[in-house]
Structure 1
Amino acid sequence: MSVDSWRLKVQHKSGFEYAGPVSSSYNEARMWPRNEARQAVLDAKVEVWPPARTYKYEDYWGTVVTAFDVHAPHEQLTVTASSTVETLPPGDLVPPGEGASWTDLEQHVDRWYEMRLPTRRTGVDDELRSIVADLRGTHGTPQEAAMAVCEFVRAEVAYVPGSTGVQSDALHAWAQRKGVCQDISHLAVGMLREMGLPARYVSGYLHPKPGATIGESVVGQSHAWVEWWAGRWTSFDPTNGIPIGERHVSVGRGREYADVPPLKGIYSGPKSTGQGVEVTITRLR
Structure 2
Amino acid sequence: MINKTESVLARRYRIRHETSFSYDAEVSASYNEVRMTPVSNDHQIAADNRIVVRPASTSYRYRDYWGTIVHAFDTSAPHRELRVVASSLVDTRTGSGRSGEPAGWDGLKDPKIRDGYAEWLIQTSRTEPDAELRELAAEVVRGATPGEAARAASEFVHDKIDYVPGVTGVHSRIGDVWSERKGVCQDIAHLTIMLLRLAGIPARYVSGYLHPKADAEVGETVTGQSHAWVEWWDGDWTAFDPTNAIPAGERHVIVGHGREYGDVTPFKGLYSGSAGSTLEVTVQIARLF
Task: Please give the TM-score of this superposition, normalised by the length of structure 2.
Answer: 0.93
- Partners of 1:90 and 1:246 within 8 A in 2: no
Partner amino acid for 2:246? I
Moved more, 127-136 or 35-44: 127-136
Of residues 262, 269, 277 in structure 2, which corresponds to 1:273?
277
For residues 99 and 195 of structure 2, what CA distance do their matches in structure 1 show?
A: 19
For residues 163 and 147 of structure 1, what CA distance do their matches in structure 2 show?
A: 26
**Partner of 2:233 in structure 1?**
229
For residues 246 and 99 of structure 2, what CA distance do their matches in structure 1 show?
A: 14
The 1:7/1:165 distance shift into structure 2, 3 A limit, reads same
1:160 deviation in Å?
A: 1.0
Percent identical residues: 51
For residues 183 and 149 of structure 1, what CA distance do their matches in structure 2 show?
A: 14
**Partner of 1:105 in structure 2?**
108
Any unmatched runs of 5+ in structure 2? 1-5
Q: Please state whether the residue corresponding to 1:88 is helix, strand or coil.
A: strand
**Partner of 2:124 in structure 1?**
119
Moved more, 102-111 or 164-173: 164-173
Total equivalences in the alignment: 282
Matched, 1:283 2:251: no
Measured against aligned partners, the alpha-carbon deviations of 1:137-196 in whole angstroms (never above 9, x if no partner) come to x41211111001101101111111222122212211111001110110110011111111
**Partner of 2:16 in structure 1?**
11
**Partner of 1:32 in structure 2?**
37
1:91 deviation in Å?
A: 5.8
For residues 105 and 30 of structure 1, what CA distance do their matches in structure 2 show?
A: 31
- Partners of 2:140 and 2:156 within 8 A in 1: no
For residues 32 and 153 of structure 2, what CA distance do their matches in structure 1 show?
A: 36
For residues 167 and 20 of structure 1, what CA distance do their matches in structure 2 show?
A: 27
**CA RMSD, Structure 1 to Structure 2 (Å):** 1.8
For residues 117 and 2 of structure 1, what CA distance do their matches in structure 2 show?
A: 32
Instruction: Give 1:1-285 correspondences, 5 Å limit.
Output: 5-89=10-94, 92=97, 99-107=102-110, 108-136=113-141, 138-285=142-289
For residues 121 and 248 of structure 1, what CA distance do their matches in structure 2 show?
A: 23
Q: Please state whether the residue corresponding to 2:186 is helix, strand or coil.
A: helix
Q: Please state whether the residue corresponding to 2:115 is helix, strand or coil.
A: coil
1:197 deviation in Å?
A: 1.1
Partner amino acid for 1:192? L
The runs of at least 4 aligned residues of structure 1 exceeding 3 Å deviation read: 1-4, 89-95
Q: Please state whether the residue corresponding to 1:109 is helix, strand or coil.
A: helix
Q: Please state whether the residue corresponding to 1:5 is helix, strand or coil.
A: strand
Partner amino acid for 1:45? R
For residues 16 and 261 of structure 1, what CA distance do their matches in structure 2 show?
A: 16
Measured against aligned partners, the alpha-carbon deviations of 1:196-234 in whole angstroms (never above 9, x if no partner) come to 111111110011101111001110121000011111111
